[in-house]
Amino acid sequence: MRSIFKTGAAALAAATMLTGVAHADGHSVSGPLRIFSDMSNPAPRAVMEDMVARFTEANPEVEVELVITDREAWKTQIRNVLQSGTADVVNWYAGNRMAPYVDAGLFMDISDLWEEGGLTETLASTQGSMTMDDGIWGVPYTYYQWGVYYREDIFEELGLEAPTTWEEELANCEVIVESGRACYTIGTQFLWTAGGWFDYLNMRTNGYDFHMALTAGEVEWTDPRVRATFENWQTLIEMGAFIDDHQSYSWQEALPFMVNGEATAYLMGNFAVAPLREAGLSDDQLGFYQFPQIDPSIEPGEDAPTDTFHIAANAENVEAAEAFLLFVASAENQTLINNGDNLGQLPVNANSQVDDDEFLNAGFDMLSNNATGGIAQFFDRDAPAEMAQVAMQGFQQFMVDPSTLDQVLMILEQARSRIY
């Protein structure tokens, strides 16, 4: 679907107050700007259209042509759009999901824009996930945190505090299991939740860079460092940390175990908070903590699926495209588009404001100030789809029967050799 946004000069004064950026060097921009977006669901679409309207108010000499495409259809259409030269700016994702378009020369390197526009400071938490082959290939505009959501009231009952180290994690879990509860609920029926556990255990055991190399196919699954990740996982499994029969449950079907107090925590994205509240848990009963440190020498990496804008390598109006990306990345814009009335997620800009919500504030602080290892996009975004499917099946199998580790690692290595 296609929309044309034009504004008159009358809006310029008010719009200039909304954003202090026109271009990185301060001069005004003009001409047609073609933006292709996959923000097709009602709330994101309204956000996208409003963002374009505010940008054109601030830059009245730019005529924006906005094309909004179905989110799923966009996954197969983006390459054709980039190759055809019909777009200046496109929506996509951070991390390894950029790789096919970076490798094909279809995204523009905007490292200079990051430097000149001050983005290396304001968007520092995601610079690693936007960087590839020594270039920076886009700007992020929204993400959401993962972490451990836990029953704060049960922790208090058992005399426990949120762990920060692996030793504290295991000690807590021992007490929880002895109380007749599971440490964690999880539903692995659809596999991806096990991918979240692997992400965190691997980033804490081997670091973000190693994890990214593994998901990019550059490390063998039979590498001893990968085995060390599974061995840490096995420690939890064998002490009874997880609920029984998790392979039978979806992530939603695993929620009641935490609500009923049969499990004390859930490693999950922030989207779990709403159903936990709806099920009757108050914010006095719920808490949040960052996944504990395993190796103190490793800086923490975090899963925070990130949506992005990119400039097409063959863009016709590069200056206007750069101005739009600076507008998208601004603290004011990211505060507005991510508030509870719009996307209801987290701004990436460290100078943005977050809605007054305990868990959004905790996530924003964590991602802005304590994700120095890097921001991962989640296993099934960071690895190719076929590899992700095989690996997550292996993760589930391992969780059900840790004695199959050698078999699982061999299957995953054979898949790596074939897929990459």
pLDDT score, position 96: 82
Is-contact 375 143, C-beta < 8 A? yes
For residue range 140-155, what is the model confidence (pLDDT) as tens digits?
Answer: 999 999 999 999 999 9
d(CA 385, CA 211): 16
pLDDT score, position 18: 39
For residue range 15-37, what is the model confidence (pLDDT) as tens digits?
Answer: 333 344 456 555 689 999 999 99
pLDDT score, position 43: 87
User: Exposed/middle/buried for 90, CB within 10 Å: 0-12, 13-18, 19+?
Assistant: buried
**Helix ranges (DSSP H) in 295-341:** 318-329, 331-337
Q: Which two tokens stand for residue 135?
A: 């270039």
pLDDT score, position 8: 32
pLDDT score, position 347: 96
Q: Which two tokens stand for residue 65?
A: 């042509």
Backbone angles phi, psi at 413, to 5 degrees: -70, -40
pLDDT score, position 385: 86
Other CB atoms within 10 Å distance of the CB of residue 299? 16
Query: Which stretches does DSSP call E strand in 298-414?
Result: 301-303, 306-311, 374-376
Is-contact 326 316, C-beta < 8 A? no
pLDDT score, position 169: 98
Segments of the chain scoring below 70 in pLDDT: 1-27
Beta strands 139-143 and 306-311 are antiparallel
263: helix, strand or coil: strand
Instruction: Name which of 136, 96, 94 is nearest 112 in CA terms.
Output: 136
